[in-house]
Amino acid sequence: MKNIRLLICILFFCHTAAEGRELSKNGQLSKRHVFYLHGAIIELGDPRPNHKEYGVYDYPAIVSALSKYEFQVISEQRKRDTDHLLYATKVVDQVNSLIASGAKAENITVVGFSKGGMITAIVSSLLARDDVNFVIMATCGEWYDNDEYLKSLRLRGNIFSVYEKSDIAGSCKSLASREPVPLSFAELGIDTGKKHGAFFLPREEWLNPVVSWIRRNTVGIPVNSPL
């Protein structure tokens, strides 16, 4: 299992701040940098766990699918029971390191699903920049209004929310409407009928719109949706 985790980090550019400097030597800073933050079940150790209701969550396949679009993909398998805020702070440091190394902020996108989506929302709030991009998938619900810390979040940057219509996690418009609102907000509801499991595989229903949005080819995606 440790070998699989290490392989994911090696193949898909799992960086520290020092590795960000190495990117400049390799001429990679002009590329689009994409962080992918996985759901909570991957923290249990298996990168391809089989959920009793939602089926296989193929984390390596999702990272591989994103890497095919010539993005500089940054992802790692988090440890069990990773603290949301602590990990978000780590990602903020990684984003700042990339920018300090010469990467353009507008070429950086943090993508997160479920727990990874909540961490992404926290990163957006902590980073507090209008020129970084965020995709939050299947994470929004009443818990953002009930938890004391989550009530303090304010999304910043360019936000793309994707949710599955049959899932308990729904629209992020309420979160995005908190003042000050993010620079831009787009949202897409997909309809696979697979609930939370819609995001367990690199399905075209969510992958294609996300890739299009990262590339800023937003045809068919409702950009700057009214809140």
- Is residue 9 situated within a structural domain? yes
CATH number of the domain where residue 185 is located: 3.40.50.1820
pLDDT in tens, 86-101: 999 999 999 999 999 9
The residue among 174, 137, 123, 178 whose CA lies nearest residue 154 is 178
Rounded CA-CA distance 48/5 in Å is 11
| pLDDT of 36 above 90 | yes
- Is residue 110 situated within a structural domain? yes
pLDDT band at residue 174 using 50, 70 and 90 as cut-offs? very high
* pLDDT score, position 121: 98
Q: Higher pLDDT residue, 162 or 10?
A: 162
Distances (CA, A) of 184 to 22, 37, 77, 160, 223: 32, 21, 30, 8, 7
For residue 64, give its domain range.
2-14+33-214
Burial class (CB in 10 A: 0-12, 13-18, 19+), 199: buried
- Is residue 131 situated within a structural domain? yes
Rounded CA-CA distance 117/135 in Å is 8
- Is residue 120 situated within a structural domain? yes
Dihedral angle, C-alpha 115, 119, 121, 122, nearest 10 °: 140
- Is residue 170 situated within a structural domain? yes
- Quick one: what percent of the chain has pLDDT higher than 90? 78
| pLDDT of 187 above 60 | yes
- Contact (CB, 8 A) for 28 and 72: yes
| pLDDT of 15 above 70 | no
71 φ, ψ (degrees, to nearest 5): -85, 150
Return the exposure string of 98-128: e unless at least 16 CB atoms fall within 10 Å of the residue's CB, then b: bbebebebebbbbbbbbbbbbbbbbbbbbbe
- Is residue 224 situated within a structural domain? no
- Is residue 119 situated within a structural domain? yes
Q: How many domains does one find in the chain?
A: 1
pLDDT in tens, 116-136: 999 999 999 999 999 999 999
- Is residue 28 situated within a structural domain? no
User: What is the pairing mode between strands 133-137 and 50-51?
Assistant: unpaired
Q: Higher pLDDT residue, 218 or 224?
A: 218
pLDDT in tens, 46-101: 999 999 999 999 999 999 999 999 899 999 999 999 999 999 999 999 999 999 99
Tokens of 216: 């800023």
- Contact (CB, 8 A) for 22 and 101: no
